[in-house]
């Protein structure tokens, strides 16, 4: 089946000067062991990282390195690359070898890797400014959502408390109730000169995260 790369170019709003770069970036090693996208993927991964790191520093100039690192990781991981790839139907343009010549589902890893390779190809063909614009357009929704996630609450609270009080938050297990297969943990956390902020969770770790969220909400109001 002939692949219409022009449709992909329209989706990402660019026209390659060297179409072979585009084709190579979407060629898996199973299709061509010699001319494939492995090295371009290596490059694309670094280009993506540079663009996202640069953007995060622009958006969050006062954020700590630890929080920036978590935001960065969530924006460049394979899961996010896969979501971006699916948004532009990238799997329709990837060449893989199928010995039975049947239509098969391409593995998620191949799709996310090809997304990075596509970025590498755009960089080689158009330069940094163009690839930066393309990445920021494709990643816009994800960047807009790059707020502190609940799982980062303990880290954020610890950094905030150390900065203001030079002490760590104090966590306390208040109770562990419910049946053995479905326990409910209640945990409190307090800062110097504050009450305990209490929350529950299915595990002690989850309860601590939820308590940290409650504490941060109050801390941000003050």
Q: Which residue is catalytic, options 38, 65, 108, 116? A: 116
User: Which strands sit side by side in the sheet containing 197-201, from one edge to the other?
Assistant: 170-177, 184-190, 197-201
- Catalytic residue check, 45: yes
Backbone angles phi, psi at 101, to 5 degrees: 55, 40
Reported confidence tier of residue 150, pLDDT bands at 50, 70, 90: very low
Cβ atoms 60, 71 nearer than 8 A? yes
Q: Which top CATH class is 150-221?
A: alpha beta
Burial of 219 (0-12, 13-18, 19+ CB in 10 A): middle
Name 170's bridge partners.
190
DSSP tag of 34: S
Backbone angles phi, psi at 53, to 5 degrees: -60, -45
Q: What does the domain layout of the chain look like in residue ranges?
A: 5-144, 150-221
pLDDT at 187: 96
- Record: fold of 5-144: Ribonuclease iii, N-terminal Endonuclease Domain; Chain A (1.10.1520)
What confidence tens digit (pLDDT) does each residue in 72-130 have? 998 999 999 999 999 999 999 999 986 555 555 789 999 999 999 999 999 999 999 99
Q: Which residue is catalytic, options 45, 125, 152, 208? A: 45
Tell me the pLDDT of the chain averaged across its residues.
Answer: 89
Does the structure show a pLDDT above 90 at 174?
yes
Reported confidence tier of residue 64, pLDDT bands at 50, 70, 90: confident
Q: What angle do CA 103, 104, 110 make, to 5 degrees?
A: 130
What is the distance between the alpha carbons of residues 157 and 191, in angstroms, rounded to a whole number?
9
pTM for the model stands at: 0.67
């Amino acid at each position: 089946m002939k692949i219409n790369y022009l449709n992909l170019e329209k989706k990402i709003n660019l026209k390659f000067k060297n179409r072979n770069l585009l084709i190579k970036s979407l060629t898996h090693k199973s299709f061509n062991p010699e001319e494939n996208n492995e090295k371009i993927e290596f490059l694309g991964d670094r280009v993506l990282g540079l663009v996202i790191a640069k953007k995060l520093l622009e958006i969050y100039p006062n954020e700590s390195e630890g929080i920036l690192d978590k935001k960065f990781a969530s924006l460049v991981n394979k899961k996010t690359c896969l979501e971006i790839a699916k948004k532009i139907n990238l799997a329709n343009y990837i060449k893989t070898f199928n010995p039975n010549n049947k239509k098969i589902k391409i593995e998620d890893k191949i799709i996310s890797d090809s997304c990075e390779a596509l970025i590498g190809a755009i960089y080689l063909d158009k330069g940094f400014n163009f690839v930066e614009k393309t990445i920021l357009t494709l990643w816009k929704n994800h960047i807009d959502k790059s707020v502190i996630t609940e799982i980062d609450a303990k880290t954020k609270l610890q950094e905030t408390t150390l900065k203001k009080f030079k002490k760590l938050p104090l966590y306390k297990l208040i109770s562990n109730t419910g049946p053995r297969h479905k326990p409910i943990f209640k945990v409190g956390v307090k800062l110097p000169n504050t009450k305990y902020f209490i929350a529950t969770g299915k595990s002690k770790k989850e309860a601590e995260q939820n308590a940290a969220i409650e504490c941060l909400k109050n801390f941000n109001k003050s």
